[in-house]
């Protein structure tokens, strides 16, 4: 594969990204932002969350490539 030694490394990275994505989701929902919800901060968190989602999708494609029959 690419920078990953084997499938186990790839799966571990995907799980790590999913955890980071989940934490960002909790922050956006209002968990750790406190009473002053800065819109700029929320926007940045949403962008980071989307980037994590995109990377998860890219790695999942490496793990399970589309096969055109």
Whole-model pTM: value is 0.77
Please give the pLDDT value at position 27. 86
The domain segmentation of the chain, as residue ranges, is: 7-63
pLDDT digits (tens, 9 = 90+) for 14-66: 999 999 999 999 888 876 555 666 788 888 999 999 999 999 999 999 888 77
Band (pLDDT 50/70/90 cuts) for residue 1 is very low
Distance CA(49)–CA(29), nearest Å, equals 12
pLDDT surpasses 70 at 10:
yes
CA dist 35 → 11, 23, 30, 32 (Å): 37, 18, 9, 9
pLDDT of residue 34: 59
């Amino acid at each position: 594969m690419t920078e990953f030694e084997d499938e186990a490394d790839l799966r571990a990275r995907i799980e790590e990204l999913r955890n980071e994505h989940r934490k960002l989701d909790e922050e956006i929902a209002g968990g750790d932002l406190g009473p002053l919800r800065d819109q700029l901060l929320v926007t940045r968190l949403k962008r980071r969350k989307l980037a994590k989602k995109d990377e998860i999708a890219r790695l999942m494609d490496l793990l399970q490539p589309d096969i055109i029959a």
